[in-house]
Amino acid sequence: MPTESQAATVTVRDRFLADHRRLEDLFERLLAAFKASDRELVEGLWSEFDAGLSAHMEAEESHLFPLLLASQPREVRTLAAEHKHIRARLIELGIAVDLHLRRLKEMQGFVEELRAHARHEDSILYRWADDHLGTAERTSLFGALTKCPGKTPRRRSAYADASSSSSAATSSSTFTGFVK
């Protein structure tokens, strides 16, 4: 768990951009495993990536979006819509992983989408957070970033996720602060 001293010395921007890079590296390793047709490695890396990205988005939705909402509602709506899109892509690609489909082009496209989203969050969210969050808020935020959603990485059934309403895309932690 992050300590208060860590939260006082590490900026939100540095911590979250580092997490984006970590997820990107994980995804690059996943692509390499896909190309090598190493199914076991693909499944392990996918679970780690899926859990890491989900925790990252949940931390932002729980600890940053509600704070930014009052002053920049339009920007928060846009970022939340991007998260919704990313979750839908996670489900699609998770199904491909489960079915051992080689969707290399889609996978490469996804990493480009994640990079664009990270740049967007950097310009809107992280810089704002460093100007407005106190040490206690940062401590909670950094703690949420390292928390695994549901404790264990999801190993999903391709068919269950395609039809179930209990998937990650509709998890209770999905940001709903702007629902009209």
By beta carbon distance, the residue nearest Fe ion is: 121
Nearer to Fe ion, 11 or 41 (CB): 11
Nearer to Fe ion, 33 or 144 (CB): 144
Which of 96, 92, 115 is closest to 25 using CA atoms?
115
User: Hey, what are 133's tokens?
Assistant: 């969050």
Structural contact between residues 113 and 86, judged by C-beta atoms closer than 8 angstroms? yes
Nearer to Fe ion, 61 or 121 (CB): 121
Shortest Cβ distance from residue 28 to Fe ion (Å)? 18
Q: What is the DSSP letter of 168?
A: G
Distance between CA atoms of residues 84 and 60, nearest Å: 13
Shortest Cβ distance from residue 72 to Fe ion (Å)? 16
Shortest Cβ distance from residue 139 to Fe ion (Å)? 18
Please count the other Cβ atoms lying within 10 Å of the Cβ belonging to residue 26.
16
Region 49-68 residues binding Fe ion, contact defined as CB under 5 A: none
Stretch that binds Fe ion, among 68-76, 121-129, 137-145, 160-168 (CB under 5 A): 121-129
Shortest Cβ distance from residue 160 to Fe ion (Å)? 28
Region 127-156 residues binding Fe ion, contact defined as CB under 5 A: none
Backbone φ and ψ of 128, nearest 5°: -60, -45
Interface with Fe ion: number of residues (CB under 5 A):
1
Distance between CA atoms of residues 177 and 73, nearest Å: 10
Distance between CA atoms of residues 64 and 98, nearest Å: 33
Nearer to Fe ion, 58 or 121 (CB): 121
According to CB under 5 A, which one of 50, 75, 98, 121 is a site residue for Fe ion? 121
Structural contact between residues 68 and 75, judged by C-beta atoms closer than 8 angstroms? yes
Shortest Cβ distance from residue 13 to Fe ion (Å)? 10
Shortest Cβ distance from residue 138 to Fe ion (Å)? 15
Structural contact between residues 68 and 76, judged by C-beta atoms closer than 8 angstroms? yes
Binding site for Fe ion (CB under 5 A): 121
